[in-house]
Structure 1
Amino acid sequence: MNRRAVTAWALYDWANSAFATVVIAGFFPLLFQDYWSTDVGPAASNLRLGGASAVASLMLIAVAPLLGAMADRLGARKRLLFTFAVPGMLATAALAWVPGGAWMSAAALYVCASVGFMGANVFYDALLVNVAPPSRWDAVSGLGYGLGYLGGGLLYLGCVLAALNPSALGFADAGAAARAGFVATAVWWGVFALPLARRVPERRRHPEAGAWQAGWRELAGTLRHLSAVRPVLVFLLAYWLYIDAVHTVIRMAVAYGRALGFGRDDLIVALLVVQFVGFPAAILYGRLGERWGPRRGIYAGLLVYAAICVWGAFIESAWEFYVIAVLVGLVQGGVQALSRSLYARLIPPGRAGEFFGFYNLLGKFAAVLGPPLFGVFGTVFGSVRFSMLSLIVLFAAGAAVLARVPESAFRAGDGS
């Protein structure tokens, strides 16, 4: 295993997680409602934001599996990664200069940046098989997620401090400091993506005439013969169920905390806690996956999530919210990392880009069942506290389906 290549690959998670933390989870939703989409109320503003997110996902869904198949065929995963990532970086930086009230421009740039971020991840995930042997996929995948939590958390911390003390850094106000955070995110993403470009190996293949048509044929063949890779289908169903619940926790935690009356500062600090606990935890979780096997590691994480849901339903004090944030940080990155490495064991050799295209599509469809279920339980039972219990259904269903993946399907004998 080439350690320089592994480090360079993992640093891309450090690089692009800044976008996920600062833009997606942090400042863009706040600025969109308070600065760009001020001509309508919060509900209509959220509808616009949700529409932009849906457009980005649909655009990626339309092309990701096809481009993944072409990347496998031509040995072009790195090239296509940067074909998506560079426009994503530029669109992220451009958000800083969108004037107030120009919600359509902000939404359009957000769509471009999101497509760049998500599209590049298809090829980044597929490059895992290029940098490490199967026996080390769990640890290497965990290292990537761990560095992602640390990198994203550090930049987010810096942006939060700038927004809280704008005058100390020469900004006119908190909004100006937050918009500068978009430029910082783009620069961070670009600088720390460079090691992947230089040091991650990829066997070049001679360009083939009609590669586009060949990619279509390869993709069509995959769709026709999915029954031949039934374990992949079973895993993807399990992954979709439990990762939907994981993403629901990510998206609904702040709203849940606000509904229970916790202060905004407590919620911001809790998000930082998740990031910095997630850094060492994801790395250690990867080691745990090597020792126990990734599937058992996923089971352990889902069990902790179920306990979090039960505790969250009865939470009373802010300190409990912090403890829950620690627990989420301990297992969130680990479950994601081991899911990626376990999937790498299931897919046919030489078709990582194509099959990770499908894997990423499931990730984009995540948080489809969870949020409505979250709301229905709170409405039906008359208290928002019951909403947390609804997610146990998805965690349990995902674990049950995952158990149906036969051990014989795993490449490398430690994948059970």
Structure 2
Amino acid sequence: MGPGSGTAPRTSQRGSAVKAEPQPILERLGLHRPELRAWAMYEWATTGMWAVIVATIFPIYFYDVAAASMERADAERIFYLATTVGITLIAVVAPLLGAITDRTAIKKPMLAAFAALGVAGCGLLFLVQEGDWAIGLFFFVLVNLGANGSVVFYDALLPHIARPGEEDRVSTGAFAIGYLGAGILLAFCLLMIQRPDLFGLPEGTLAARLSFALVAVWWAVFTIPLLRKVPEPPPEVIADESEKVAGSSVRFALNRIRTTFSELRSYQHAFIFLLAYLVYGDGIGTIIRVATIYGASLGIDRGHMIGAIVMVQFIGVPFSFLFGMLAGRIGTKRSLFVGLGVYLGVTVLGFYMTTALHFWMLAVLVGMVQGGTQALSRSLFASMIPAYKSGELFGFYGVMDKFAGMFGPLVMTLVITMTGSSRLSLLSVAGFFIIGGLILSRVDVDEGRRVAREAQARARPLSGTVP
């Protein structure tokens, strides 16, 4: 059985015969304990926000309403700038904040604080009307700060709630739950916008603005299970850090980050994986960010593109679960290669796309692998780091995740400038999957997990109250 194959099946013995018992369905899906289901509900809470606020409804609302008086090129420029600001701010502070939460038991409070910031941003978008592009972008930055910040601490909980061998199923199960929630919320919001009369609403912008408020309520309500059911991980340190604990949390965090950089040789396979993820994750992020832009450049109707995005959410539900099961059979790393192979095929087939039907077909392929590759990337990294450093190291993971999709569009822009072909620009994204896959092939998963287990074995609980 390959690396990351999950827990071994339970057995029962009668005489000399040993018979494997099938796992219960919830265990196969990674949702078999209350804290796992509660943790997965935060994916339900936030994936809907990404679908409505970041991917579909708010960008359209911004261009057509809030920035209606601006040239489209100028509106796109400042929208992308605002997105970059929100991503960069979190990327800069994520490792530091993560290391602080490794020293003090505040992963859940930090998650709640950033979630509250994002929920407030979503709710305030309700106030944005025609011409309010500046205040709209400010609220949008708050949403990005809240979402990107909270997910650092959310991901850092995974090594603490998933037992050895469960990481893949728990991570993919949460992604599947997230896709289901996103599909339901996005479909409802689109129906409310397209047919406001069904809800007793007038024509105009009210339905779209109500969808922003609904996302805020959705995000807030479905954060509660995690806060109630998921235990706060107790802080742990190794012997060498005991003397440093007495200082301030910030000083401790900075010292730990410096120590981690000096220990890169020890955690080399986890960091090689981070490099691979930065590259192939950028390809995935680029596909997500430019899909509708590329479709529009080929004349694909907006209705078809939005419909395909909704479909991706629902396709992602069963296939995220299936990727967790696939990892249990062939290993996490091999399963990731399957996903990257499909993405490589999408970029090649996208070069030849001409019709709305082609767009729908490519969306099906993306929906089959998008959740699985992202979930298994998270679980593979979680299995190669010591749990007592999860906040800090998932802070670094968050940096890679936040910048995913930032370099691909730049490469596409360069190719368009040089060739004038949007088709060739999409084909250039294939390089991210090829190079990322080659780097991933250098990761020794078993060795990375062995190092993580040995490091965790040296950790001990941090007693007393830490200022």
Bin the TM-score by the shorter chain: over 0.9
Equivalent residue for 1:298?
336
Counting aligned pairs with the same residue, the percent is 38
Equivalent residue for 2:5?
none
Q: 2:42 aligns with which of 12, 28, 33?
A: 12
Equivalent residue for 1:267?
305
Structure 2: distance between partners of 1:37 and 1:378: 26
Quote the offset at 1:103 in angstroms: 1.6
Q: 1:57 aligns with which of 87, 90, 100?
A: 87
Could you tell me which amino acid in structure 2 is paired with residue 194 of structure 1?
A: I
Structure 1: distance between partners of 2:288 and 2:357: 19
Q: 1:35 aligns with which of 36, 46, 65?
A: 65
1:58-207 alignment to 2 at 5 Å? 58-204=88-234
Could you tell me which amino acid in structure 1 is paired with residue 431 of structure 2?
A: V
Quote the offset at 1:205 in angstroms: 5.2
The structure with more radius of gyration? 2
Quote the offset at 1:241 in angstroms: 0.7
Structure 2: distance between partners of 1:371 and 1:254: 13
Q: Which has the higher helix share?
A: 1
Q: 2:317 aligns with which of 279, 283, 290?
A: 279
Q: Once structures 1 and 2 are overlaid, which stretch shifts more, 137-146 or 55-64? A: 55-64
Give the paired residue count. Answer: 414
Quote the offset at 1:274 in angstroms: 0.8
Equivalent residue for 1:254?
292
Structure 2: distance between partners of 1:171 and 1:209: 57
Q: TM-score, normalised by structure 2?
A: 0.85
Equivalent residue for 2:364?
326
Deviation string, structure 1 residues 104-153 (Cα, Å, up to 9, x no partner): 21111111111011000001001111221120100110011111111111
3-state SS of 1:261 partner: coil
3-state SS of 1:38 partner: coil
Q: 2:275 aligns with which of 237, 248, 252?
A: 237
Structure 2: distance between partners of 1:46 and 1:382: 20
Q: 2:403 aligns with which of 365, 370, 373?
A: 365
For the 8 Å contact 1:162–1:174, the answer to whether it is kept is no
Pair 1:395–1:134, CA change in 2 (3 A): same
Pair 1:174–1:291, CA change in 2 (3 A): farther
For the 8 Å contact 2:272–2:443, the answer to whether it is kept is yes
Structure 1: distance between partners of 2:379 and 2:448: 11
Q: TM-score, normalised by structure 1?
A: 0.95
Q: Once structures 1 and 2 are overlaid, which stretch shifts more, 202-211 or 32-41? A: 202-211
Pair 1:208–1:154, CA change in 2 (3 A): farther
Could you tell me which amino acid in structure 2 is paired with residue 144 of structure 1?
A: A
Structure 2: distance between partners of 1:144 and 1:374: 32
3-state SS of 1:364 partner: helix
Could you tell me which amino acid in structure 2 is paired with residue 376 of structure 1?
A: L
For the 8 Å contact 2:112–2:150, the answer to whether it is kept is yes
Equivalent residue for 2:429?
391
Structure 2: segments with no counterpart, 5+ residues: 1-26, 237-244, 454-467
CA RMSD of aligned residues (A): 2.0
Structure 1: distance between partners of 2:142 and 2:51: 17
Structure 1: segments with no counterpart, 5+ residues: none
For the 8 Å contact 1:345–1:412, the answer to whether it is kept is no
